Chains A and B, each alone.
Chain A
Amino acid sequence: MTIRTEPMTVNVGPQHPSTHGVFRVRITFDGEDIVEVEPVLGYLHRGTEKLAEERNYVQVVTLTDRLDYTSSMINNQAYCLAVEQLLGIEPPPRGKYLRTLAAELQRIASHLIAVGFFVQELGAFGTPLMYTFRSRERILDLFEMLCGARITVSYMRPGGVFADTPPDFWPALDQFLNEFEGELEEIENLLLSNEILMVRTRGVSPLPADVAINCSVSGPVLRASGVNWDWRKIAPYDAYDQVEFDIPVGENGDNYDRFWVRMQEVRQSLRIVRQCVAQIEPGTVRRELPMVLRAAPGAEAYGRVEASKGELGFFLVSDGGVSPYRCKIRSPSLINLTITEHLLLGWKLADMIVSLGSVDINMGEVDR
């Protein structure tokens, strides 16, 4: 006797604990196998690009905090670089170092979230996530000392950062760097060679390098597929040409490699932060600029950074007014979602959430 079967379509999200926000994907299953995938976006669309056209160049900084809210510092940095390119200015050296330092701390915080939730989605409820959040919390405390905010920092400005560090920031940073070393080792010992994690993620949803490039994938996901590409190295901005770091590259582009690349990048970021602390010198943190910035009519700039999720770019067009005529945001999370279908098709229901987690999207940035 044969049992009658038929494909079943399931909505995952938008209200789902493991979709990293309000991501929704319609998946058709044949038993346990995924046969059709359709991402549905837009539940967090706030029209950031339109809002930017109504604010002046400095005010737009606050909008960038709300894109990828797990890496606000890096969003600030990308936008400020674009405005600086538009105006043809550069921040003073101390401003550059502070931006690099803040961005790398933010990258650590963002990767800790990515790794923590990735492992949580594998079924390791609680413990690993609390380990990573314990350290992330301390980075947010440091941000609070820098600018008074933990998530929506708005720390950077075109021409530098808005304030110098308070005196007790440096001892606190020093203490964090020393203690985080041990905390990171603890996380690495727990996860990197964990047998369950390896069995569940090795060889699952591999992404070949040519597919990754064709889908415009960037960041850790691209590097996990074996492509050595990092904008901090290719086109150094701020103080990245003054510091040494390596680019971790994966081999197979499977879920494990994406996780592994993030873990290694945390170590490299730590290295960069230490070098910034050693190299930074006293001085002004922001260039003297008029209160209201104006760029030349017709001026254009594409400022990009290697954000924690990938290439984050701001394409600004000026008409000579006080606000950008057009502010296009090249969001890595949105474009990295192009591979959703490739990652999920043919794999099992149980691996679906893990594969989505390995891409590390942030809906604030996908929908903008």
Chain B
Amino acid sequence: MTLSVVSGETLAQRLREAAPNSVVDWDETAVWVEPSSLGSVASALHGDADFDFKFLNAISAIDFVEHFELVYHLTSIAKQHTGMVRSRVYGREEPTAASVVGVWKGADFQEREIWDLMGVRFTGHPNMKRIMLWEGFEGHPLRKDFL
């Protein structure tokens, strides 16, 4: 058993048909998509017979100060390959991205955690509440300007 990696270019080519106007950029490792189209990108990758990305490993959020970057690590258990989808979210007041909970239930706690600690909101999440800290806590601790 060996694990292969689906290149960002392959993902971008397929996504241009499956989810129009979603692709922003790509390189060897990942494809960058619009944060508002993450939902349709997710269902396209989940449903695609060749990609078969049924397993979402992790969602990571990084604060690059001029923007937030969301990183989705994906795996297909049947095809034994991985892929990476990324998205740049601009704005520090109310950065928002589309939720993927409808496609991958495993995103539930991770998106809540990103909202709690990084302050990126996910539209379409059924329960967009803080998860680690309490409601009423001011600020989002993992942001670079918090401390």
* Interfacial residues, chain A to chain B (CB-CB below 8 A): 41-42, 45, 47, 49-50, 211, 213-217, 227, 229, 233-235, 302, 304, 311, 313, 315, 317, 325-326, 328, 330, 334-335, 337-338, 367-368
Contacts and interface: CB of A to CB of B under 8 A. Distances in A.
B77 A227 contact: yes
A335 B132 contact: no
Interface residues on B, range: 20 to 34
Contacts of B109: 41, 334-335, 337-338
Contact of B56 (A216, A229, A234, A337): A216
Contacts of A217: 106
Contacts of A216: 55-57, 104-107
A326 B77 CA distance: 28
A226 B60 CA distance: 28
Contact of B106 (A50, A214, A326): A214
Nearest to A326: B62
Nearest to B71: A315
A233 B131 contact: no
A50 B62 CA distance: 12
Contacts, number: 79
A215 B105 contact: yes
Contact of B54 (A213, A235, A302): A213
B142 interface: yes
Q: Is the interface of A mostly helix, strand, loop or mixed?
A: mixed
A215 B106 contact: yes
Contacts of B14: none
Contacts of A50: 141-142, 147
Among the interface residues B54, B63, B73, B141, which one has the most CB atoms of the partner chain A within 10 A?
B73
22 contacts: A42-B133, A42-B134, A45-B132, A49-B142, A50-B141, A50-B142, A213-B55, A214-B104, A214-B105, A216-B55, A216-B104, A216-B107, A234-B80, A302-B73, A315-B73, A328-B61, A330-B57, A330-B58, A334-B109, A334-B110, A335-B109, A337-B109
Contacts of B55: 213, 216
CB-based closest 3 A-B pairs: A216-B106, A330-B58, A42-B132
Contact of A328 (B60, B80, B106): B60
B108 interface: yes
Nearest to A367: B132
Nearest to B147: A50
A217 B54 CA distance: 11
A145 B131 CA distance: 39
B24 interface: no
Interface of B: 1-3, 54-58, 60-63, 71, 73, 77, 80, 104-110, 113, 117, 131-134, 141-142, 147
Contacts of B134: 42
B57 A326 contact: no
A119 B15 CA distance: 49
Contacts of B63: 326
A337 B61 CA distance: 20
Given A229-B77, A330-B58, 18 more contacts: A50-B142, A211-B105, A213-B55, A213-B77, A214-B54, A214-B106, A215-B105, A216-B106, A234-B1, A234-B2, A311-B57, A313-B73, A315-B73, A325-B62, A334-B113, A335-B106, A335-B109, A338-B108
Contact of A315 (B54, B60, B133): B60
A368 B117 CA distance: 12
A313 B60 CA distance: 11
A311 B56 CA distance: 11
A135 B63 CA distance: 45
The residue in B56, B63, B106, B107 that gathers the most chain A C-beta atoms within 10 A of its C-beta is B106
Nearest to A231: B3
Contacts of A235: 2-3
A24 to B, nearest CB: 12
Given A234-B3, A313-B73, A49 B57 contact: no
Contact of A313 (B2, B57, B107): B57
A245 to B, nearest CB: 13
Nearest to B60: A328
Given A335-B106, A335-B109, A328 B131 contact: no
A216 B106 CA distance: 5
Contacts of A317: 62
A151 to B, nearest CB: 23
A45 B133 CA distance: 8
Contacts of B77: 213, 227, 229
Contacts of B132: 41-42, 45, 367-368
Contacts of B71: 315
Contacts of A302: 58, 73
B111 to A, nearest CB: 11
Contacts of A325: 62
